[in-house]
């Protein structure tokens, strides 16, 4: 079956493996890879040390960076058939609702509503659903200094917010992968199974598919 997508967005909580899966799929399928530029956000390390003080600056920096990337996605790429991104633009508001106070959120929403109407819309969204234990283990294994300040309580907040968001998500076809039980890095069978579900089977609009490989 020919590739049925122009743009696939992969999502999940911090540590779910979205960038890794995006890289693997982009390499195997010769897609243009768009990575979230979190390392360029100067406020992120300070945010994890003091959420209340640096949430608004961190949020606006991410919103601006993500929007610029969305605009670049609209340009034609002669060397790749389609795009895979390791984030969904709309997820930005998940963090905003968790971390901003009412006045900050109102200002943020004014800017966000303008940008979200112009942002690229994916043909397929993949949500890596995980549990807090697995997320925490993955974060510890990759050893980023500033992520040492992420608390288990914050991970649980994020995980609950992501689950709620994608339970109600219906703007693009959605595949949900059980990332707690799936190892697409070390187990090639799992990765092949995921690729088969994405690229070799028709995805109907607004259908949630849970992928749990044997």
Catalytic residue from among 86, 102, 123, 183: 86
DSSP string, 171-191: SS-EEEEETTS--TTT-HHHH
Q: Is 50 a catalytic residue?
A: no
176 touches 209 (CB < 8 A): yes
What are the C-alpha distances in Å from 110 to residues 32, 71, 106?
31, 19, 6
- Which of 68, 58, 147, 64 is closest to 100 using CA atoms? 58
Cβ-in-10-Å burial (0-12, 13-18, 19+) of 211 comes to buried
For residue 32, list its beta bridge partners. Answer: 83
- Residues marked active site are found at 86
């Amino acid at each position: 079956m020919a590739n049925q997508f122009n743009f696939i967005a992969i999502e999940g909580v911090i540590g779910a493996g979205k960038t890794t899966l995006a890289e693997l799929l982009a390499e195997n399928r010769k897609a243009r890879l768009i990575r979230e530029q979190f390392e360029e956000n100067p406020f992120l390390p300070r945010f994890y040390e003091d959420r209340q003080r640096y949430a608004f600056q961190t949020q606006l920096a991410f919103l601006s960076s993500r929007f610029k990337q969305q605009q670049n996605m609209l340009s034609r790429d002669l060397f790749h058939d389609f795009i895979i991104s390791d984030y969904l633009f709309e997820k930005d508001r998940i963090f905003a609702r968790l971390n901003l106070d009412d006045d900050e959120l109102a200002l943020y929403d004014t800017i966000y509503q303008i940008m979200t109407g112009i942002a690229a819309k994916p043909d397929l969204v993949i949500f890596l659903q995980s549990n807090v234990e697995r997320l925490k283990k993955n974060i510890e294994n990759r050893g980023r200094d500033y992520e040492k300040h992420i608390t288990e309580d914050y991970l649980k907040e994020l995980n609950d917010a992501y689950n709620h968001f994608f339970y109600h998500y219906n703007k693009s076809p959605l595949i949900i992968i059980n990332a707690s039980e799936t190892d697409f890095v070390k187990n090639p069978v799992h990765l092949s199974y995921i690729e088969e579900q994405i690229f070799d089977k028709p995805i109907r609009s607004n259908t949630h598919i849970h992928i749990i490989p044997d």
